[in-house]
Amino acid sequence: MLSKEIKQKHFEDSYQSMTINILYTSGWLKRKIQNTLKPFGITHAQFNVLRILNGKSPDPCNPSEIIEVMIEKMSDVTRLLDRLKAKGLINRCICEHNRRKVDVYITEQGKQLLQEITPILRKSRNTLEHLTLEEAEQLSHLLDKLRKD
């Protein structure tokens, strides 16, 4: 099926096919999520940061902690945080204990936005339900195994 979608008849081997399939599927899934988030005026990276901050709430996070656990690592987190702050979804302040650090918190508005988005994202996962729960667990396990160094 992949060979039809990307119009490539042959692969070097199964490892090449698997690699291309993972990358192609990742792009497909990202586009699907981005289309769901678009009406809310946030990007996938911004949504990821909100989820991270919500998970840490009421405790703060600093930018380096955010980068560490982001799905897609990016160096320009400052600009991303600026955009979220401008939308009223996060707050930033100087850390009380270390004035060189910045503490980042999710706002109530940010939490409300996550509460709006989450059920819609769950609904859009229906296309993922082509896999049984067991198959989804197996795929997740295999992807974890693939990342082991």
pTM of the model: 0.82
Helix, strand, or coil (residue 93):
strand
Angle between helices 14-37 and 108-124 (to 10 degrees): 130
pLDDT at 40: 95
φ, ψ dihedrals at 42, nearest 5°: -130, 155
Token pair for 141: 């396990």
pLDDT at 11: 80
Q: Where are the alpha helices (DSSP H) in 6-132?
A: 14-37, 44-56, 63-69, 77-86, 108-124
Q: Facing residues of 102 across strands?
A: 94
User: Is residue 49 within 8 Å of residue 91, measured between CB atoms?
Assistant: no
Per-residue pLDDT of the chain (149 residues; tens, 9 = 90+): 766 777 777 788 888 888 888 998 889 888 988 999 999 999 999 999 999 999 999 988 888 899 988 888 777 888 999 999 999 999 998 877 777 788 999 999 999 999 999 988 888 776 677 888 899 899 989 999 988 87
Q: How far apart are CA 20 and CA 96, in angstroms?
A: 47
Q: Which domains does the chain have, with CATH numbers?
A: 2-124 (1.10.10.10)
Handedness of CA 43, 45, 47, 53 (dihedral sign): negative
Q: How far apart are CA 123 and CA 140, in angstroms?
A: 20
Q: How far apart are CA 49 and CA 55, in angstroms?
A: 10
